[in-house]
Amino acid sequence: MQQRPLKTACSEAAPGAKRKKGLVFIISAPSGAGKTTLCRAVRDRFADLQYSVSYTTRSPRSGEQNGVDYHFITAREFENGIQSGRWAEWARVHGNYYGTSAAFLDKTRAAGRDIVLDIDVEGTRQILKRYPDSITIFVMPPSMEVLRQRLEDRGTDSAEVIAVRLKNAENEMAQKGLYRHIIVNDRLPQAVAELIAVFEKYRS
């Protein structure tokens, strides 16, 4: 795991001082790098950690629950939110909107509760403009060859879709310098331990 020695409000506090605002943790990774599994492990380890459920205009997939997997809303409602500044970050992907509620982040942080966001690189850039003290973590596959194999083994995407995902992965990995911590998910137990160690460092 690589770490960037950046100062934070948490690290500058006096020993024993109690922080007033909750922390924002951001986890990003290329598709197939294991981000979902790692996020689940962190949430299982820290029961009090708040998870930011994104809003989207796409239709629910089989088994997805509103308010659990996503908040499903209409395109008009989402676009009104853009105009009113409702979103801390948002993007339009494949014709559908995705966004993070600024009100949820502000309210949760004000209550002193820590939050984890599962968002992409562009979303991270937007969040950092609003919350520059966010703790950013990027999950890397051990190699592009391994990433390709993982995507193929999932058996859910066509060769064309996998090619697009790999191209996007190269673009995202080229921007890993934006992140404070980098974890290579080669062996899952080790990657989980490293990720939990990052959270413990800032939450202690």
Rg (CA), the chain: 17
Sheet with 2-3, strands from edge to edge, namely 2-3, 181-184, 135-140, 24-28, 115-118, 50-51
- Domains belonging to the chain, first-starting first, are 2-51+113-203 (3.40.50.300)
Question: Is 162:153 a contact under the CB 8 Å cutoff?
Answer: no
Q: Tens digit of pLDDT per residue, the chain (204 long)?
A: 555 544 433 444 444 445 589 999 999 999 889 888 999 999 999 999 999 999 999 999 888 899 998 999 999 999 999 999 999 999 988 788 999 999 999 999 999 999 999 999 999 999 999 999 999 999 999 999 999 999 998 877 889 889 988 998 999 999 999 999 999 999 999 999 999 999 999 998
Q: For the whole model, what pTM was predicted?
A: 0.82
